[in-house]
Amino acid sequence: MGVALKDITTAKEIDLDFLKGKTIVLDTYNILYQFLTTIRGRDGMLLKDSKGNVTSHLVGLFTRTSNLMQRGLKLVFVFDGKAPKLKQKEQEKRSTLKSEAEKKYLEAKKIGDKEEMRKYASRTSRLSKDMVEESKKLISLLGLPIVQAPSEGEAQAAYMVGKNEGFAVGSQDFDSLIHGAIKLVRNLSISGKRKKGSSIGYDTIKPELIDLSENLNNLGIDQNQLIALAMIVGTDYNPGGIKGIGPKNALKLVKQYKTDFDSLFKEVKWNENFDFSWTEVYYLIKKMPTTDNYNLNFENVSTEELYELLVNQHDFSEQRVKSTLEKLKKETDGKQQKSLGDF
């Protein structure tokens, strides 16, 4: 779900041109779930090819990635690995909510209520192993690096940006900040608009940049205190947080207790809310596994293979794919393999 830090963070609106030539390390699962939630038919169902295979994730991935490439952004895609045990409760909760949404969708379908159908269909998104593998194949054919995280993708992305291997993490969630992402870019869309999830219509949006150091300074706390604050509000490892305490009140408490986290979590009655210690969550976040085992070379676009995958296998518009590939070919042709270094 993502930790709720929006109300206390400051973001700077930026133009996509500001990111030209810069490397953005993407939390890929976050992006794929966006596509599965928003790219749907009028009845709220996922887009499919003639064989019945879901294509919503591929439509979004190909369209957005190719557009951003044409604008000069250098994209690296990080995929989640094995989820921590503490995240299982959150995953079970999400699965239950999706099952409930699927039932309500079928009920709405029976009575022909299209608005309710769209509403509940968008809440049923499930990312299968096949979708992940198809996404990796598409990204590889676009010549872009893929990094397999040992655990949480946002932690790996934050680690890489911290190593100066990227300008910022790209994600809608704020989770990468608690993992130490020095910069976070949100709303990384070419269209300047975002579909309203289960609703009809779009929100006008602009990319925004969140600087971790600036925000910590503005809030008057350090990175460890930010983690404690996030835990009070609720993370994927302690869903829901401490009931009745939002980010602003959590900030006041963290500043009051400073680094005395034992007293802080005693004050908020942590043990009455969770059957595991606060230290378990805190050190999980602090010591989330990351890896240096990846290759950050950019390759040329594999035009013929992309055409085969999208048009022949998944029924994409031949004209649209050809047009996009021609633009990408002009952008990338003749370039030798590059490693990340200039951004």
124 pLDDT more than 90: no
Question: Of residues 331 and 243, which shows the higher confidence score?
Answer: 243
pTM for the whole structure: 0.86
Task: Name all domains of the chain by residue range, CATH numbers in brackets.
Answer: 1-219 (3.40.50.1010), 221-287 (1.10.150.20)
Question: Is residue 225 a contact partner of residue 259, using CB atoms and an 8 Å limit?
Answer: yes
318 pLDDT more than 80: yes
For residue range 248-307, what is the model confidence (pLDDT) as tens digits?
Answer: 999 999 999 999 999 999 999 999 999 999 999 999 999 999 999 999 999 999 999 999
Q: How far apart are CA 282 and CA 259, in angstroms?
A: 13
For residue range 60-108, what is the model confidence (pLDDT) as tens digits?
Answer: 999 999 999 999 999 999 999 999 988 776 656 656 665 676 666 566 6
Question: Of residues 333 and 3, which shows the higher confidence score?
Answer: 3
Output the pLDDT for position 233: 96
